[in-house]
Structure 1
Amino acid sequence: MAEWEKEPVVVIGLGRFGTAVALELTRRGIEVLAIDESPKRVQSLSGHLTKVVAADTTDIDALRDLGVDEFYRAVVAVGTDIEASILTTSLLVELEVDDIWAKAISAHHGRILDRVGANHVVYPELEAGERVAHLVSGRILDYMQVDEDFAMAKITPPRQVVGMPLGETKLRSKYGITVVGVKYAGKTFTYATAETELTHDDIILVTGRSRDIDRLVGLD
């Protein structure tokens, strides 16, 4: 882990998303200052996080008193209070926090966060919804959106590519899909090569544009 990655992080908002972020950072050995306006939430996490306090994060003096201006990274995980989310983010910018991650609950909310100075805007509910939709829809076993229109998916191989070397399937030229890994029945994942031959019992890891992955899994 690089030195800057070990620096403490301030997490503002301790709903489900903020709590999960704060606990995971703590598990990774990163010091966390967690802030929430609810004393009840703060009390429930007091034994699990490095430092957790109740404060109004829309008050710049309160943020200064907590030393937030000394942090390099911050996560704004405020829930449905969009006004508080935007104001808190703008105050972090004013305090010159270098790397600000902010949770958005809608595209409009995200655009505003971006405009006020958030370095990274995340959409946990939207991303979770897209992932579940792909999993529910059929043969996709796991799915991760890695860019606006690019994803990685774990799927069972379409019958059209079973029983022949991957190099002969022309998956990339026909469908824009690259098979990067394969898990044979009863074994762990390994790298796929042009010589890899698949069976119906295998699982493959593919990358490509989201719509191309959807097209591939719809072949059967």
Structure 2
Amino acid sequence: MADVAPRPAPRAPLAGRPPKAEKEKERTSGTLVIGLGRFGSAIALTLERLGHDVLAAERSADIVAQFTGRFPLVEADCTNPEALVQLGVHDFPVAVVGVGTSLEASVLIAGNLVDLGVPQIWAKAISAEHSRILRRIGVHHVVLPEADAGNRVAHLVSGKLLDYIEVEDDFTIVKMRPPRETQGFTLEQSQIRKRYGVTVIGVKPPGEDFVYATPDTRISANDILIVSGSADLLERFAARP
């Protein structure tokens, strides 16, 4: 018998077997979060606040006690595949492995989820080697929170960028102030894409709503630009006076 000890939860569906229609709804919208460290608990709390169905699993009784009543959760050792089956893992289209301090536990849990056919698996990694192992066993999305945060902050503190989001394959989106040479001109006049290889997605004038950019969009000194492109080209564009 797997080590699964249910804890009180504010939602009734956790007690007993939900009807078929409800199980189908969970299959399209529910998220199983495994591990309630800083990463996993932040995900579970945010999903709950946004109104998504979430079930969290944590092996530490002390940590479970800290979060009881804040979102549905159970005490379970998910390195055991039988525990995942008892939790109803097949009812969840998305699972998040928030365990990072124990490489062995992280890999075992992720491997169990892969073997059980979870459609989307997200997992936290604490190193490049950890990330490589998770990808090799079939995890769909690997997150390195510390490395990603460090990379983002480095771009912000070293230049004029207000925000920085690296999507993938060197495609990046930034929030920035417009260089002087673009101020007072429309996008068609300034030819930003042709001259710098980046694309202005939208403009946020002070005190006004965000607007998607068109060739006729005129940029002013106090605007905030949302710009996409490769990281190197964006850095060069943002470095313009």
Q: Distance in 2 between matches of 1:4 and 1:162?
A: 50
1:38 to 60, 63, 71: 60
Displacement of 1:186 = 2.4
* Residue number in structure 2 paired with 1:93: 114
1:60 to 75, 81, 89: 81
Q: In structure 2, give the amino acid aligned to 1:95.
A: L
* Residue number in structure 1 paired with 2:99: 78
SS at match of 2:162: strand
Q: Distance in 2 between matches of 1:69 and 1:138?
A: 46
Displacement of 1:28 = 2.6
1:108 to 122, 129, 138: 129
Q: In structure 2, give the amino acid aligned to 1:30.
A: H
* Residue number in structure 2 paired with 1:177: 198
Q: Distance in 2 between matches of 1:73 and 1:156?
A: 37
Displacement of 1:6 = 4.4
Displacement of 1:148 = 2.8
Structure 2 unaligned spans of 5+: 1-24
Task: Give TM-score, length-normalised by structure 2.
Answer: 0.84
* Residue number in structure 2 paired with 1:132: 153
Displacement of 1:62 = 2.3
| 2:45 counterpart of 1:23 | yes
CA contact (8 A) 1:6 1:30 kept: no
SS at match of 1:74: strand
* Residue number in structure 1 paired with 2:139: 118
CA contact (8 A) 1:69 1:92 kept: no
* Residue number in structure 1 paired with 2:184: 163
Q: In structure 1, give the amino acid aligned to 2:181.
A: Q
Q: In structure 2, give the amino acid aligned to 1:8.
A: G
Task: Give TM-score, length-normalised by structure 1.
Answer: 0.91
Q: Distance in 2 between matches of 1:4 and 1:214?
A: 43
Which shifted more, 139-148 or 209-218? 139-148
Structure 1 unaligned spans of 5+: none
CA deviations 1:138-190 (Å, max 9, x no partner) are 31111111113011111000112112221122211221111111122222211
Q: How does 1:201-220 map to 2 (within 5 A)?
A: 201-220=222-241
Which shifted more, 150-159 or 102-111? 102-111
Aligned length: 217
SS at match of 1:164: coil
Q: Distance in 1 between matches of 2:193 and 2:203?
A: 16
CA deviations 1:36-83 (Å, max 9, x no partner) are 121111111111112x12222211222223222443321111122111
CA deviations 1:62-112 (Å, max 9, x no partner) are 222322244332111112211111111001112222221111122221111
Q: Distance in 2 between matches of 1:119 and 1:188?
A: 36
Cα gap change, 1:8 to 1:196, in 2 (>3 Å): closer
SS at match of 1:185: coil
CA contact (8 A) 1:140 1:156 kept: yes
Displacement of 1:5 = 7.5
Q: Distance in 1 between matches of 2:88 and 2:28?
A: 18
Cα gap change, 1:200 to 1:48, in 2 (>3 Å): same
RMSD after superposition = 1.7
